[in-house]
Amino acid sequence: MRKTIASWLFIRLLVKPAVIFDELSETRPSPYVVFFRFLLWMALAPPVFAFIGASQFGWRLGAAEPLYLSPGELIPISVAYFAVLIFGFVSTALVSQWMATTYGARSSLGIHLAMVTIVVAPLVVGSAVHLFPHIFINVLVLIPALIWSMYLLYRGLPVVLQISPERGMLMSSALIGWLLVAAVSFLGLMVALWGRGIGPSIGV
C-alpha cells in the first residue's frame, strides 16, 4: 500500500473523481501530509476570496446599497471564517474516523482527512464566487457545488474507505446528519453573537 498521494490530486479530483477514488483506496496517506499539503490551503481560499470581494465590491444583501466593512472588521471575520473551516474539516475527519468502527471502514486519520479533501473540493472552487459578494449569486453557485460535493461523498466514500456501497450509503448519510447539525450550530452561534453585538456593526 502506497504512503503518498500525488500533489496534483486536487485538480484531477475535479476532472476524474473515479480514478482518484481508486488510487486513494490503495493509499495510506499520512494525516500531516494531507493536512499541510491540501486541507490547510483549501481552507485558506474561501476567506481570501471573501476578503477581496468584500473589501473591493461590498456585500449586497439585497435590501440596500453594497455594505462596505472596514479592514479592521473584515480581517477578524476572515480569520474566524478560516478557523471555522479548519475546525469543520478536522472535526468532520475525526467524526468520520469515529464512525469507521461502526461501519467497518478503514480507520487511519489520514484517509479520513483525504475523504474530507475530496468532498470539500467543489465547494472550495465554488467559493471563488465570494469575489463577487452578492448573496443570492453566492447561493446560486454554491448550491450546485454542494450537490457535487454530496455526489462525491456518496460515490467516493465506499471506494476510498473500502466498504460495500450499502454500508457506504449508511455512513455517508450519518455524515450528512453530522454536517447538517454542525452547520446549524454555527448558524445559531453566529446569530446569537451578532444579536449580542459581537461582530461587525451593521447597526444590529
List interacting residues with other proteins (CB under 8 A): 61-64, 102-103, 135-136, 139, 143, 146-147, 150, 164, 166-167, 169-170, 173-174, 176-177, 180-181, 184-185, 187-188, 191-192, 194-196, 202-204
Cβ-based nearer residue to other proteins, 11 or 140: 140
Residue 169 Cβ vs other proteins, minimum distance, rounded to whole Å: 6
Sign of CA dihedral 174, 178, 179, 183: positive
Nearer to other proteins, 6 or 191 (CB): 191
Spatial neighbors of 110 by CB under 8 A, at least 6 apart, are 28, 29, 30, 31, 33, 34
Q: What does the chain come to in residues?
A: 204
Do 5 and 24 meet the contact criterion of CB atoms below 8 Å apart? Answer: yes
Tell me the C-alpha to C-alpha distance, in Å, between residue 23 and each of 3, 111, 167.
11, 11, 20
Which cell is 56 given? 473591493
* Least distance in angstroms from the C-beta of 90 to other proteins: 21
Shortest spacing between CB 121 and other proteins, in angstroms = 19
* Nearest residue (CB) to other proteins, 32 versus 76: 76
